[in-house]
Amino acid sequence: MGREGKLGNPREALSISGCEARILAGLPLVGTVRMNELLRIMTDIILSARRERSVLRQHPWVLSGAVAQEPGASESGAWVRVLSSAGGVLGHGHYSARSSIRVRLLAFGKEDPGEALLERRIEAALARRRDHPLLTETTGLRLVNAESDGLPGLVVDRMGDVLVVKFLTAGMHARAERIARCLEELTDAPHGYRRRDDTSARREGISPDEGVLWGNPSGLAAIEERGRRYAVDFMQGQKTGFYLDQRDARDLVQGLSRGRRTLDVFSYTGGFAVAAGRGGARALVLVDSSQAALETASSNLALNQVECPIEVRHSDAFEALRTAAEAGEKYDLIVLDPPPLARSRRAVQAASRAYKDMLLHALRCASPSAFILAFSCSHHIDPDLFQKIVFGAALDAHRGVRWLRTLGAPADHPFSIYHPEGRYLNGCLLEVESAGQAPG
Ligand code: SAH
């Protein structure tokens, strides 16, 4: 354990050189021993009395506005102790000098959890998923899901033979080497690859590193999920290369698609289209603005021997839906899975309007007794608001709409009940009545 510091001025507890600060920022991964020492220097963050409640309620974030006193700005990534205004130790976490989330707590209570907490948490995350009854028959799986696995800032996706890792905070970035060794040891994955994340790199003031962690990953990875096969571009593709969080919804689509003319909007690499094709869809139309994603989608459909007529539309999805509605196109199964439309609270209103507009056009394209699966993946649009948006679109479309099922992320993407921000994926399965019928 580092310095005690008591309630003295935490700024005096630590002074490090610019070179050490570079190491702390996680830049070179040489000199790991020295870096580990630096990361273990413990300083205190003191909360303001009025803003202690969320930490007392086990929320893992300390926002900058809740901090009354903090150390100097140079030790991003290091452990800090979080103290109440009265001086009691509330927990330990990783410090981020630049981020508005100043500390991510990894442990609550007085006890210093020690650096080996990382390995214990990773091991526990892997164990929770092993032989899990909801996570069977897939070689594509999220192994570590940040806060919900007690590892804020760390995301690990298994894509067949390749583990794709994202280090999203200064704390995890500074420990990348150690985490990679642990993952290599604890899993049998022959390859590890680190994906950059520019948004979090900017927010955290860390370098957006990308590259091989171990093994020799190259080309595309391959996953098989409940009989569906996908090529995954883990180097160039979006996020970690594939949307593992829609696995359960893909199962649902596969079960609903027989004989249905299916429209997959925001198709990306054809996750849903492949499921619909394997389920016996009569025809498939895919829409996405990314040509590269659509090319992979086409080869994924071929890989799965989907033989119904397929049309791929490289287009803005909002435009494409409007055009399809105006042209009188009709579909029996429609999937709407846009990127996060509200990336901040301020964007919620505009996003709600865009979302409603999109759903309205989808409803106009819905044949009698069509199914629509609609998703929103930004946590700023909460389940209540999401339902209201669906209501507004149904009302404007003059269609009877029944909400058959609420959909969300699968068991490898849980959210911790203490961290509601981790709930980002809201979805529904709707059944649409014939046009002109009174809602009821
Ligand atoms: N349904 C996909 C994931 C969708 S991710 C799956 O299950 O795999 C969102 C997709 O929307 C991305 O492929 C992105 O290229 C696409 N996209 C983003 N903005 C778009 C727009 N305005 N029009 C069409 N596609 C868009």
Question: Tens digit of pLDDT per residue, the chain (440 long)?
Answer: 232 222 222 222 222 233 233 333 433 333 455 566 667 667 899 999 999 999 999 999 999 999 999 866 448 999 999 999 999 999 999 999 999 999 999 999 999 999 999 999 999 999 999 999 999 999 999 999 999 999 999 999 999 999 999 999 999 999 999 999 999 999 999 999 999 999 999 999 999 999 999 999 999 999 999 999 999 999 999 999 999 999 999 999 999 999 999 999 999 999 999 999 999 999 999 999 999 999 999 999 999 999 999 999 999 999 999 999 999 999 999 999 999 999 899 999 999 999 999 999 999 999 999 999 999 999 899 999 999 999 999 999 999 999 999 999 999 999 999 999 999 999 999 999 975 555 55
The atom of ligand 1 lying closest to the CA of 337 is 1
* pLDDT (0 to 100) of residue 24: 38
Sign of CA dihedral 427, 432, 437, 440: negative
- The verdict on residue 438 lying in a domain is no
Q: Is residue 152 part of a domain?
A: yes
Same domain, 57 and 169: no
Domain co-membership, 389 together with 408: yes
CA-nearest residue, atom 6 of ligand 1: 271
Q: Please state the atom number of ligand 1 nearest to the C-alpha of residue 269.
A: 8
Q: Does 191 lie in the same domain as 125? A: yes
Residue that terminates a domain, selected from 164, 196, 214: 214
Establish if 127 belongs to a structural domain. Answer: yes
Same domain, 275 and 177: no
Q: Are residues 82 and 129 in the same domain?
A: no
Q: Are residues 425 and 282 in the same domain?
A: yes
Q: Looking at the structure, do residues 49 and 80 belong to the same domain, yes or no?
A: yes
Please give the Cα distance from 279 to 333 (Å, whole number).
12
- Ligand 1 centre distance from Cα of residue 320 (Å): 13
Q: Which residues line ligand 1 (CB under 6 A)?
A: 238, 243, 246, 266-269, 271-272, 288-290, 293, 316-318, 337-339
Within-domain flag for 234:
no
Which of 166, 177, 181 is closest to 32 using CA atoms? 177
Which of 108, 131, 165 is at the close of a domain?
Answer: 108
Query: What is the C-alpha separation between 286 and 280, in angstroms, rounded?
Result: 16
**262 and 200 in one domain?**
no
Residue 230 covered by a domain: no
Q: Is 111 helix (H, G, I), strand (E, B) or coil?
A: coil
Residue 4, pLDDT score: 27
Shared domain for 77 and 128, answered yes or no, is no
CATH of the domain at 158: 3.30.750.80
For ligand 1, atom 1: residue with the closest CA:
267
Atom of ligand 1 lying closest to residue 270 CA: 8
For the sheet with 310-314, list strands across it.
310-314, 283-288, 261-265, 331-336, 366-376, 426-432, 401-407
Ligand 1 mutation target, pool 229, 262, 268, 286, most atoms within 8 A of CB: 268
The residue among 87, 108, 129 that closes a domain is: 108
For residue 410, tell me if it sits in a domain: yes
Calculate ∠ Cα 416-418-422, nearest 5°: 50
Residue 197's domain comprises 117-214
Which pLDDT score, from 0 to 100, does residue 343 have? 87
- Classify burial at 190, counting beta carbons within 10 Å of its beta carbon; exposed 0-12, middle 13-18, buried 19 or more: middle
We report the CATH number of the domain holding residue 41 as 2.30.130.10
**Alpha-carbon gap, residue 277 to 260, rounded angstroms:** 10
Closest CA to 339 of 354, 319, 357: 354
Same domain? For 88 and 130 the reply is no
Report yes or no on 139 lying in a domain: yes
Backbone torsions φ then ψ of 423, nearest 5 degrees = -90, 105
Do 419 and 276 share a structural domain? Answer: yes
In a shared domain, residues 402 and 267: yes
The CATH number assigned to the domain holding 355 equals 3.40.50.150
Sorted by sequence, the CB contacts under 8 Å of residue 82 that are 6+ apart come out as 44, 45, 47, 55, 62, 89, 90, 91, 92, 93, 103, 105
CA of 338, closest atom in ligand 1: 9
Cα(25) to centroid(ligand 1), Å: 33
Query: In the chain, how many domains are there?
Result: 3
Residue 356 lies in a domain: yes
Give the catalytic positions in this structure: 377
Using the mean position of ligand 1's atoms as its centre, give its distance from the Cα of residue 332 in Å: 21
Going by alpha carbons, the residue nearest to atom 21 of ligand 1 is 316
